[in-house]
Amino acid sequence: MSSNRTAHCCCGALNVQTTGAPELVAACCCGECQRRTGSIVSVSGYWKRNNVVTSGSAKRYLRKGHGGRDVELYFCPACGSTVYWLLPDLKPEWVAIAAGMFGDANFPRPSMSVWEKTKPDWLSIPADVHLDGQPQEV
Q: Is residue 79 a contact point for Zn ion (CB under 5 A)? A: yes
Instruction: Find the binder of Zn ion among 26, 30, 96, 131 (CB under 5 A).
Output: 30
DSSP characters for the chain?
---EEEEE-SSS-SEEEEES--SEEEEE--HHHHHHHSSSSEEEEEEEGGGEEEES--EEEEEE-TTS-EEEEEE-TTT--EEEEEETTTEEEEEEEEGGGG--TTSPPPSEEE-GGGS-TT----GGGB-TT-----
Site residues for Zn ion, 82-111, by CB under 5 A, read none
Instruction: Find the binder of Zn ion among 6, 13, 69, 90 (CB under 5 A).
Output: 13
Report in angstroms how near the CB of residue 100 gets to Zn ion at its nearest. 14
Q: Which of 24, 45, 44, 42 is nearest to 32 (CA)?
A: 42
Report in angstroms how near the CB of residue 84 gets to Zn ion at its nearest. 13
Q: Is residue 40 a contact point for Zn ion (CB under 5 A)? A: no
Q: Is residue 41 a contact point for Zn ion (CB under 5 A)? A: no
Instruction: Find the binder of Zn ion among 24, 53, 78, 112 (CB under 5 A).
Output: 78
- How many residues touch Zn ion under the rule CB under 5 A: the total is 9
- For Zn ion, which is the closer residue by CB, 52 or 83? 83
Residues that bind Zn ion (CB under 5 A): 9, 11, 13, 28, 30, 33, 76, 78-79
